Structures are given as structure tokens and as C-alpha cells.
Amino acid sequence: MKLFGYWRSSATYRVRIALALKGLDYEYEPINLLKGEQRSEAYLAKNPLALVPALETEDGAIIVQSLAIMEYLEEAFPSPSIFPTDAIGRAKARTIATTLASEAQPFMNLRIQNYLKNEAGLDEAALKQWLNQWPGGAMAAVEKMVAETRGDFCVGDTLTVADCCLVPQWFAAIRFGVDVSGFTQLNEIYERCLKHPAFEKAHPLKQPDAVST
């Protein structure tokens, strides 16, 4: 398999964690977002959305959208699983993953932040307010969700797709100055996840393109 991604991309980071949890080997092809490589003709042929990640499977299929990629990995390589064993648990894990991937991350995406600064004229203070209102607001909801579902991790005591989404979202939130000080449950889970070897391997700073910007 080949993963097209970017070291600091939170959506790519999710998939790297899932691949590492499943112990899967893959090739990595960096797409430099700061150089606009996501908009190159070659990459657009893989993902017309001009977003990373994309996964090329062993059969040559291209899958985009990190949640769809993680669902594919689960179906193609079921063991070890990154989903809870019961239907309610799976639904809760998907709820948390979807909330982080759809209600938090898109509001802090590079192209959105560029638009807000360069087209809509937001200054640093207004941008920070935006980030705390939208990604921060969605994370506040997830803090409440995990209060009901958590054990050692987001849903129970086993790592799931929810944790694959939480850690990159937390990493991005810190990077962009979202106030996470009130999210004590998420912080505890984040710190525990970071100690796991799969999360260590998937960390942005461990990626080959980490210093190439």
C-alpha cells in the first residue's frame, strides 16, 4: 500500500495511527501542502478534493477520506480491530471520530485558514476566536461524549478509531492555539495514547517529510 500525505496533516496522522495499530507496512509519498502539491494535476487525479490523505491499495485502488480509509483497513485487515466489539460501542466510536473529522478539523484546515486571513480579512485575534468557536466548540462536545463512553481510551479500554481521530485533532488544536485547558478527559486520553508505540510511530515529527517545509 502507498499513503499519500503530509507530516503535519491531522487527517493523514489518523490514517498513520490506524496503519500502525494494525501493524501494516506501507510506502509513504509526501504531498507538500505548503508548496500546493495537493493541487498538482497528478495528485488531483487521485483526489479531486485536493486534500490529503489518499491511500493506494495493493490492488491499485485509490481511497480518499480518512474515515473511509480507516473503515477499509478494518475490513481488509480485521485483526487487530480498531472498532469496539459491540454495535453500540462501534456507533459511539464512529460518532466521536465523525465529530472530530467533520465538525472540528474542517474549520481549521489550511485552505480555510488561508481564506479567512487572505480573503475575508480576519486578523490573528479574529482567527483565534474562530478556531476556539468552531473546532474548540466541537472538541467541547467530544469532551462531554467521552465522559459517558471512556475507559482508558475514548470508548472503553481499547484503542479505537475515535482515538485515531482524537490525538491528531488535539495536536492541531495546540498548534493553532485552541484553548484546550478545560478538556481534562480528552487530555488524559491523549497523554495515554501518546505513550503507545503505534502513536509514537505515527507522530508527525517522526515522518520523513517532517523537516522538508
Ligand X SMILES: N[C@@H](CCC(=O)N[C@@H](CS)C(=O)NCC(=O)O)C(=O)O
Q: Can you tell me the distance from the alpha carbon of 202 to that of 188, in angstroms, rounded to the nearest whole number?
A: 19
Out of 11, 20, 131, 166, point to the residue binding ligand X (CB under 6 A): 11
Contacts of ligand X in 80-139 (CB under 6 A): 101, 109-111
Bridge-based pairing state of the strands 2-5 and 27-30? parallel
Grid cell, residue 203, equals: 507522530
| Beta carbon of residue 151, minimum distance to ligand X (angstroms, whole number) | 26
Out of 43, 66, 154, 161, point to the residue binding ligand X (CB under 6 A): 66
Out of 52, 97, 159, 166, point to the residue binding ligand X (CB under 6 A): 52
Residues in the chain: 213
Neighbours of 194 (CB within 10 A): 13
Contacts of ligand X in 29-48 (CB under 6 A): 33, 38
Grid cell, residue 194, equals: 501518546
Q: Can you tell me the distance from the alpha carbon of 22 to that of 198, in angstroms, rounded to the nearest whole number?
A: 9
Which of the stretches 8-16, 115-123, 125-133, 136-144 binds ligand X when contact is defined by CB under 6 A? 8-16
Q: Interface with ligand X by CB under 6 A: which residues?
A: 9-11, 33, 38, 51-53, 65-67, 101, 109-111
